[in-house]
Structure 1
Amino acid sequence: MTDQPQHPLATALKPLLDAVGATPVPLAEARPEDVVLEWEGERALAVRLPHLGNALDRLLAEMTRQFDGRPLADLERAEKQRVVALLEERGAFTVRHGVETVATALGVSRFTVYNYLNRQDGSTGTTSK
């Protein structure tokens, strides 16, 4: 953005935009695919959403941060299973080549990632009451 004062909406949304990899854009530079937000009935800010291809990289970086910055391939098996579960919750496997990318990051095979996913599905579908 330029050196103009930031709109209060941009300031309030900054943590969210950073977390999802979106970029605030001045209204004059907004493209048709950008999301224009209103504040008190007036156009206030445009938001440029990230490309899906970058989304998985951001999710993997977030997993690394959540696990104390350790490389995902160095995690214990239970931790890797937790990473797969968290990534599944966030939709990581809807991205093309998601399983392959996650498997590479975890230092396991695609088959192992599928096993973690199947194990998760099996454990969440049963209750012992």
Structure 2
Amino acid sequence: MTADRAEKTTADEGLMQYRTTPDSDWTIAAVAEIVEPLGMTLPPPSEIILHDLSKLPNSIVAIYGEVTGRQVGDPATNYLLERASAGLLGNDVGYETTLDDGRVLRSSTVIIRNRVGNPVAALCINIDISAWLQVEKLAAAMTFKRGGPDHAAVSQPPASTASATASTEEKRGSRTRERFPKSVDELTDTMIQDAIQSSGLDVLAMKKRHKVQIVKLLQDKGLFLIKDAVERVSGALGVSRFTIYNYLNEIAESPGEYS
């Protein structure tokens, strides 16, 4: 099998479960009709996006609002791609993530299914809550007492408040690496760079085992569902495309070794 054929097979097989059908087309078209009216009910700045899973990675088919700067025809986030690749799509409501410019979003992903229960689309809502977080901090600062003999004791939030704040901050940090790319190339490159950075090693210092682990991580995240991903990974790791295919074969033959 040639490298081009192997790459096409990898992508096609990974997305086969989301192939389009008349039933799924009707379902997606029906949901697309409510994107604009539903988006108009959300407080600004916010956006609502509909992804057609059969079109991954360029899956956006409808959008209302502008928070992440994307448009119809742009790709899914790395998070949606990873979940779709693993076949683990489910509703995820009220999670928070941080954009590269520091804005904090509260997001929800609702999986749309056809009449037999197969996932066909994802309806995603992103609300920029950065201004509200600033209001929250200002309100907290204004409600704590200042001065007086008990100043040291009362100038800090109560233990219960501090605990709740810590829990909220922990939740906010749970998906700060979600990306909102405007092109497939951008999605591919950021996923590769994130994987390399997570290893803590410079590519020049990596041995084979480190590179195989990175390939395994990227495979788990669904990167190889994207056309030309193998070529981009090989360039980033300084190896040939055939070497990447060899790594993938090794992973398939001994999955536990690289888990």
TM-score normalised to structure 2 length: 0.32
Letter in structure 1 aligned against 2:179: G
The runs of at least 4 aligned residues of structure 1 exceeding 4 Å deviation read: 11-14
Match of 1:66 in 2: 198
Give aligned-pair identity as a percent.
26
Matched length: 95
User: How far apart in 2 are the matches of 1:67 and 1:57?
Assistant: 16
Q: 1:73 to 1:94 in 2, by over 3 A?
A: farther
Q: CA deviation at 1:53?
A: 2.8
Q: How does 1:4-15 map to 2 (within 5 A)?
A: 4-6=131-133, 14-15=172-173
Match of 1:38 in 2: none
Is 2:222 aligned against 1:82? no
Match of 1:36 in 2: none
Deviates more, 1:55-64 or 1:92-101: 55-64
Pick from 1, 20, 30 the counterpart of residue 178 of structure 2: 20
Is 2:228 aligned against 1:97? yes
Q: 1:15 to 1:77 in 2, by over 3 A?
A: same
Structure with bigger RCO (C-alpha 8 Å, 6+ apart): 2
Match of 1:25 in 2: none
User: How far apart in 1 are the matches of 2:184 and 2:133?
Assistant: 27
> What per-residue deviation string (whole Å, max 9, x for no partner) do you get for residues 4-44 of structure 1?
4249xxx887545631113xxxxxxxxxxxxxxxxxxxxxx
Greater gyration radius = 2
Are 1:99 and 1:110, in contact at CA under 8 Å, matched by a contact in 2?
Answer: yes
* 3-state secondary structure, aligned to 2:191: helix
TM-score normalised to structure 1 length: 0.59
5+ residue gaps, structure 2, are: 1-127, 135-168
Q: How well do the aligned residues superpose, as a CA RMSD in angstroms?
A: 2.9
Q: 1:109 to 1:89 in 2, by over 3 A?
A: same
Match of 2:189 in 1: 57
